[in-house]
């Protein structure tokens, strides 16, 4: 009898195991995979803390305190957790009287965070040291009747320090040694292959995580098990060729028969028999085969906004055996894997430009040039065991889709995401610019470190490459520019650091990425930002990796006026840019301790080295921010920071979109950043609790498929009016633009001018250059009016934008808008687990209301969404839709909703 015994509260799992472990041998023909995810015990090194009944995935922080690490000053107060060593222990029993080594038993740790010792019955199995790597151990001969599995996880802080000291003894310093003091972080993040942001970042807390962040499994098989499948698609005039590669783990050479099912493409399964007589070598354990699909039988997969995201399920069944005479009925030979693919072509076009110097840098999907618009994505949680939360992932990626994004950049300081993340990206049509997990640091180039990296890249790229959402890979974030510009003082040994850089990224990471390299896929970028393929001319370390005429750029300049389009570069592709804003007051109140003062907490969580002035300097250029000693300062700071962030990002994004068909050929704008890991000053458009900042609300308009853009040109003192259209086909009939000029003191336009326009499909129509002197005439001044541009087809509204001729804080004759809000309709719908509350709100005003900001004040509603927010109201009535989920239907009253406008902070002054 071969039986694993579990405690009584795991009775159901024990019954399942009994079903397929019935006699002295490994019976039935399927590979058995058993999750060992329940009833672990966690204890610290001296045994003063012990916790039983632990469920995997798990981390020490989350096991002891849940999400309290995100509250108050717990990022510092709970840091002691990461200074200790912790052990996860699991007990199980096996009856082995008849057990012989007929069946191979494998212990697989799918994710250990980070450095650990693994022991079974006191015998050392191995030392995981890379949280991104799957570790497997043959335990067939180590099993006893009573077994104890121990995973002792070392303090990541001290482990990183010890490794840095060991290199120092060899005369090697690998900077940056420590983060800026404002991070309240820990040192030597680059010594460990773990989420780099877990030691602190300019937007996130230091929570040096440790734990078992993915499943632990026992695997029973004779010789082989499928790990991953990659499918490379090549389109021809008559058909698609599917090049399949099935990646396998094995314990010896084996014979195999592979059955392939594609029920929506082929009526019958395809059986691959080439290895029935010729064994597969365990030194190169994969099986390849090609199959053709007629082109007219395939529906294309398109990015969000351009078509459907058709996905085809594929299933692979491997029968593997070691005996040349074939398997017996009792052998565990069948292993299975299912994936979904999308048929699409993708090209990164880097051709010499017709005007000036440089190369283009744009993507073609299914033969169509597509402007990439979207955001950067960081881990959904600072604790990696929580990063797989399905509800949070769905909310974030749906929010990206809803705001017309078609690409997200998976940033290199985080993690290789869960399978569900990539599945959701596929379903939502979100292409992924995917960094490998190296960011903002130099790294060791020792053989031990490089060997770990090779395994990391190989395992992860084989897992994710088949997804249609994977658009481009980059080996690191900002490390080329950091090296060239000596961000971390590397110039003193420049030659050594350049050599190590090439050894890590070219000889190691790029080499492993060749596993999935194919003519149908863009070649990986060595860094971001970089000069793209032109980097090869400099052996991938260019003098100026931020050259706007090549590749991609990152741009930040906190000391200039971010509302001014002239400060921004004119790049081929902007893959990272943004400005900080504060989460809403309700989120701050939720994360703070009762009666805690918020200003010191905000300052503690402001990790930008410039501090709070990084926001207030821009705010004070344009908005009437009260003095810190004034009573309304805090609420105004939160509100104005969101306006300043939204306006800055809007202006920069619109500039990039407008440059598409100019000599600059800008073809991508990915703002920093979509999401957050806690409540803090940051660049995110969605706060940690899932609430939209004004930036995210506004992005529904400035990323819309059809947009009117009106940007001020400082040199010509004129407004450049452009009409952007991302649609492949567009109706150009009866299109017109209206320019409305409103005085601050009245709702009806003082002047209106309308003219016919057209749209350029999948491009930009450059419509007019209007001198300011033609707009501001007569009694109008830069201080008493605002300008609106509206695009319509007939009477149908398509898009609008506003231009402010002067600083808002200096506006004259601004009146109290006499704004009111009524709840006009309520509706509550039910699903299996939640109530969706829907409200229709009516906002009325008698005078122009600036940046109308709606807040829900109910502390029991942590996340809600409005149809728009932070809007300019120049009409008497505005209808708003409010939606949130709760455990029950909630009856909101007018007192639960707060309205704020900039008007109330402006002194009413005559013209």
pLDDT of residue 2: 34
Q: Catalytic: which of 219, 385, 512, 576?
A: 576
Q: For 362-416, what is each residue's pLDDT tens digit?
A: 999 999 999 999 999 999 999 999 999 999 999 999 999 999 999 999 999 999 9
CA distances to 106, 234, 279, 596 from 319, in Å: 18, 28, 12, 62
Is residue 428 over pLDDT 90? yes
pLDDT 10s digits, 429-452: 999 999 999 999 999 999 999 999
With contact defined as beta carbons under 8 Å apart, do 425 and 311 qualify? no
Q: Under CATH, to which class is 32-218 assigned?
A: mainly beta
Domain segments of the chain as ranges: 32-218, 223-330, 346-703, 708-810, 820-905
Instruction: For 538-588, write each residue's pLDDT tens digit.
Output: 999 999 999 999 999 999 999 999 999 999 999 999 999 999 999 999 999
For the domain made up of 223-330, give the CATH fold: Immunoglobulin-like (2.60.40)
Residues in a beta bridge with 712: 719
Sequence-ordered strand ranges (E) for 17-176: 32-35, 40-44, 50-54, 58-59, 86-93, 104-109, 112-113, 116-120, 123-126, 135-138, 146-153
Q: Are 642 and 870 in contact (CB under 8 A)?
A: yes
Radius of gyration of the chain (CA): 29
User: Is the per-residue pLDDT at 9 higher than 70?
Assistant: no
Q: Is 478 a catalytic residue?
A: yes
CA dihedral 169, 172, 176, 177 (to 10 degrees): 0
Cβ pair 680, 672 in contact under 8 A: no
Place of tokens 């971010």: 562
Encode pLDDT of 266-305 as tens digits. 999 999 999 999 999 999 999 999 999 999 999 999 999 9
- Return the minimum-mean-pLDDT range out of 192-201, 326-335, 352-361, 619-628: 326-335
Say what the pLDDT of residue 39 is: 96
Q: Check pLDDT > 90 for residue 110.
A: yes
**Do residues 284 and 256 make contact, with C-beta atoms less than 8 angstroms apart?**
no
For the cut 70, the answer to whether the pLDDT of residue 755 exceeds it is yes
Q: How much of the chain is helix, strand and coil, in % rounded to 5?
A: 25, 30, 45
Instruction: State the first-to-last Cα distance of the chain, in angstroms, to the nearest integer.
Output: 93
Could you give phi then psi for residue 422, rounded to 5 degrees?
Answer: -70, -35
- Between the alpha carbon of residue 352 and those of residues 471, 639, 665, 728, the distances in Å are 22, 45, 11, 25
Please tell me the predicted confidence (pLDDT) of residue 909: 56
Distance CA 474, CA 410 (A): 10
pLDDT score recorded for residue 96: 64
| Average confidence score pLDDT of the chain | 94
Run of H or E residues at 169: helix 156-169
The pLDDT, as a whole number, for residue 908 is 60
Instruction: Choose among 809, 750, 808, 804: nearest CA to 780.
Output: 750
pTM for the full model?
0.95
* pLDDT greater at residue 831 or residue 319: 319
Domain spanning 820-905: which CATH class is it, in words? mainly beta
User: Class for domain 708-810, per CATH?
Assistant: mainly beta
| 24-41 confidence digits (pLDDT tens) | 345 457 788 999 999 999
Residue of 257, 417, 478, 855 marked catalytic:
478
Residue 23 CA to residue 323 CA, distance in Å, equals 22
Bridge partners, residue 250, by sequence = 224
Enter the tokens of residue 765: 């129509």
Q: Residue 41: beta bridge partners?
A: 89
The answer on pLDDT for 6 being more than 50 is: no
Closest CA to 272 of 261, 263, 283, 284: 261
- What tens digit of pLDDT does each residue of 762-784 get? 999 999 999 999 999 999 999 99
Query: Do the domains 346-703 and 223-330 match in fold?
Result: no
Give percent above pLDDT 90 in the chain.
92
With respect to CATH, is domain 346-703 assigned 3.40.50.1950? no
pLDDT at 602: 98
Q: What distance separates the 2 farthest-apart alpha carbons in the chain?
A: 101
CB 227 within 8 A of CB 248: yes
CA 298, CA 262: separation in Å to the nearest integer?
A: 12
Angstrom CA distances, 280 to 103, 106, 224, 258, 556, stand at 19, 20, 10, 12, 52
Ordered alpha helix ranges (H), 679-749: 694-702
13-17, 216-220, 467-471, 723-727: which has the minimum mean pLDDT?
13-17
* Among 554, 341, 308, residue whose Cα is nearest residue 428: 308
Q: What is the mean pLDDT of residues 803-829?
A: 95
For CA atoms 212, 213, 218, 219, the dihedral sign is negative
Quick one: which of 165, 176, 168 has its CA closest to 483?
A: 176
Residue 571 tokens read as 């790049």
Chain CA centroid to CA 396, Å:
9
Distance CA 210, CA 69 (A): 14
Cis-peptide into 176, omega within 30 deg: yes
CB 724 within 8 A of CB 707: yes
Provide mean pLDDT across the span 716-720.
97
**Structure token pair of residue 878:** 């505005």
pLDDT of residue 191: 98
pLDDT digits (tens, 9 = 90+) for 127-168: 999 999 999 999 999 999 999 999 999 999 999 999 999 999
Distances (CA, A) of 577 to 162, 569, 651, 660, 739: 36, 11, 12, 17, 30
Q: How far is CA 404 from the centre of its chain?
A: 16
pLDDT score for 55: 97
- In tens, the pLDDT along 336-356 reads 999 999 999 999 999 999 888
DSSP characters for 509-571? IIHHHGGG--TTSPPPBSSBSB-GGGGGGGTT--S-TT-TTSSBEEE--TTS-TT-GGGS---
Q: How far apart are CA 892 and CA 897, in angstroms?
A: 8
Q: Which sign, positive or negative, has the C-alpha torsion 184, 186, 187, 193?
A: negative
CA atoms within 13 A on the CB side of 909: 11
Rounded CA separation 288/403 (Å): 40
Instruction: List, in order, residues 6 or more apart from 294 with CB less than 8 Å away.
Output: 238, 239
Strand ordering across the sheet containing 368-370: 346-349, 362-365, 368-370
């Amino acid at each position: 009898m071969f039986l694993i015994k579990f405690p009584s509260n795991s009775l159901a799992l024990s019954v399942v195991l009994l079903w397929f472990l019935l006699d002295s041998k490994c019976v039935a023909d399927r590979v058995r995979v058993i999750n060992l995810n329940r009833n672990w015990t966690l204890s610290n090194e001296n045994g003063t803390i012990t916790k039983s009944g632990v469920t995997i995935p798990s981390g020490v922080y989350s096991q002891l305190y849940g999400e309290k690490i995100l509250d108050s000053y717990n990022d510092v107060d709970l840091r002691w957790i990461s200074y200790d060593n912790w052990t996860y222990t699991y007990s199980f029993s096996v009856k082995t009287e008849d057990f012989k080594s007929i069946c191979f038993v494998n212990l697989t740790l799918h994710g250990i965070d980070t450095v650990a010792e693994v022991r079974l019955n006191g015998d050392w199995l191995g030392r995981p040291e890379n949280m991104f790597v799957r570790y497997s151990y043959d335990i067939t001969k180590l099993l006893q009747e009573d077994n104890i599995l121990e995973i002792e996880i070392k303090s990541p802080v001290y482990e990183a320090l010890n490794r840095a000291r060991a290199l120092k003894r060899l005369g090697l310093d690998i900077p940056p040694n420590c983060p800026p003091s404002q991070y309240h972080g820990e040192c030597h993040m680059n010594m460990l292959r773990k989420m780099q942001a877990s030691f602190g970042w300019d937007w996130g807390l230091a929570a040096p995580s440790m734990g078992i962040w993915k499943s632990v499994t026992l695997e029973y098989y004779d010789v082989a098990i499928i790990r991953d499948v990659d499918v490379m698609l090549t389109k021809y005039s008559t058909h698609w060729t599917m090049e399949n590669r099935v990646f396998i783990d094995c314990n010896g050479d084996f014979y195999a028969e592979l059955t392939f099912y594609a029920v929506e493409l082929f009526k019958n399964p395809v059986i691959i028999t080439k290895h029935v007589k010729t064994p597969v070598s365990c030194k190169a354990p994969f099986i390849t085969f090609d199959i053709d699909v007629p082109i007219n039988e395939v529906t294309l997969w398109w990015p969000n906004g351009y078509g459907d995201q058709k996905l085809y399920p594929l299933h692979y069944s491997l029968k593997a055996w070691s005996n040349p005479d074939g398997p017996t009925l009792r052998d565990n030979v069948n292993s299975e894997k299912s994936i979904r693919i999308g048929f699409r072509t993708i090209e990164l076009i880097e051709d010499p430009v017709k005007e000036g110097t440089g190369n283009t840098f744009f993507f073609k999907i299914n033969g169509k040039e597509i402007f990439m618009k979207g955001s950067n994505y960081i881990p959904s949680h600072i604790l990696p065991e929580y990063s797989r939360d399905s509800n949070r992932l769905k909310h974030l990626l749906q929010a990206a889709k809803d705001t017309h994004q078609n690409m997200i950049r998976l940033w290199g300081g985080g993690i290789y995401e869960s399978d569900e993340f990539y599945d959701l990206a596929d379903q939502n049509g979100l292409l992924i610019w995917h960094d490998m997990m190296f960011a903002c640091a130099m790294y060791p180039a020792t053989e031990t470190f490089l060997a770990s990296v090779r395994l990391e890249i190989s395992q992860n790229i084989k897992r994710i490459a088949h997804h249609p959402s994977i658009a481009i890979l980059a080996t690191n974030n900002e490390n080329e520019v950091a090296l060239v510009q000596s961000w971390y003082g590397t110039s003193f040994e420049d030659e050594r650091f350049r050599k190590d850089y090439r050894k890590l990224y070219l000889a190691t990471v790029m080499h492993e990425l060749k596993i999935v390299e194919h003519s149908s896929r863009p070649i990986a970028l060595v860094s971001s930002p970089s000069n793209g393929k032109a980097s090869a001319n400099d052996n991938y370390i260019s003098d100026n990796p931020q050259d706007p005429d090549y590749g991609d750029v990152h741009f930040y300049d906190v000391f200039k006026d971010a509302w001014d389009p002239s400060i921004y570069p004119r790049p081929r592709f902007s893959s990272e840019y943004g400005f900080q804003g504060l989460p809403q007051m309700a989120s701050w109140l939720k994360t703070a301790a009762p009666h805690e003062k918020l200003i010191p907490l905000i300052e503690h969580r402001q990790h930008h080295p410039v501090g709070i002035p990084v926001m207030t300097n821009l705010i004070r250029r344009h908005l009437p921010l009260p003095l810190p000693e004034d009573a309304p300062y805090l609420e105004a700071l939160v509100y104005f920071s969101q306006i300043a962030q939204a306006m800055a990002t809007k202006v920069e994004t619109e500039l990039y979109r407008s440059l598409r068909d100019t000599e600059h050929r800008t073809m991508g704008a990915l703002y920093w950043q979509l999401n957050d890991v806690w409540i803090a000053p940051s660049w995110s458009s969605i706060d940690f609790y899932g609430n939209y900042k004004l930036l995210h609300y506004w992005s529904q308009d400035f990323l819309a498929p059809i947009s009117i853009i009106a940007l001020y040109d400082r040199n010509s003192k004129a407004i450049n009016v452009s009409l952007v259209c991302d649609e492949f086909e567009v109706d150009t009939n009866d299109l017109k633009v209206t320019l409305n000029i409103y005085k601050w003191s009245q709702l009806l336009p003082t002047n209106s001018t309308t003219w016919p326009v057209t749209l350029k499909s999948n491009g930009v129509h450059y419509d007019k250059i209007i001198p300011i002197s033609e707009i501001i005439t007569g009694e109008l001044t830069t201080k008493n009016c605002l300008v609106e541009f509206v695009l319509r087809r007939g009477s149908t509204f398509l898009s609008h934008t506003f231009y402010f001729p002067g600083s808002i804080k200096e506006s004259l004759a601004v009146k109290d808008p006499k704004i009111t809000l009524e709840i006009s309709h309520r509706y509550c719908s039910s699903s299996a687990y939640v109530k969706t509350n829907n409200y229709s709100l009516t906002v009325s005003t008698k005078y122009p209301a600036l940046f109308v900001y709606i807040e829900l004040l109910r502390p029991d509603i942590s996340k809600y969404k409005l149809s728009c927010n932070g809007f300019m109201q120049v009409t008497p009535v505005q209808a708003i839709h409010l939606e949130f989920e709760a455990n029950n239907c909630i009856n909101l009253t007018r007192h639960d909703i707060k309205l704020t406008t900039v008007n109330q902070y402006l002194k009413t002054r005559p013209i």
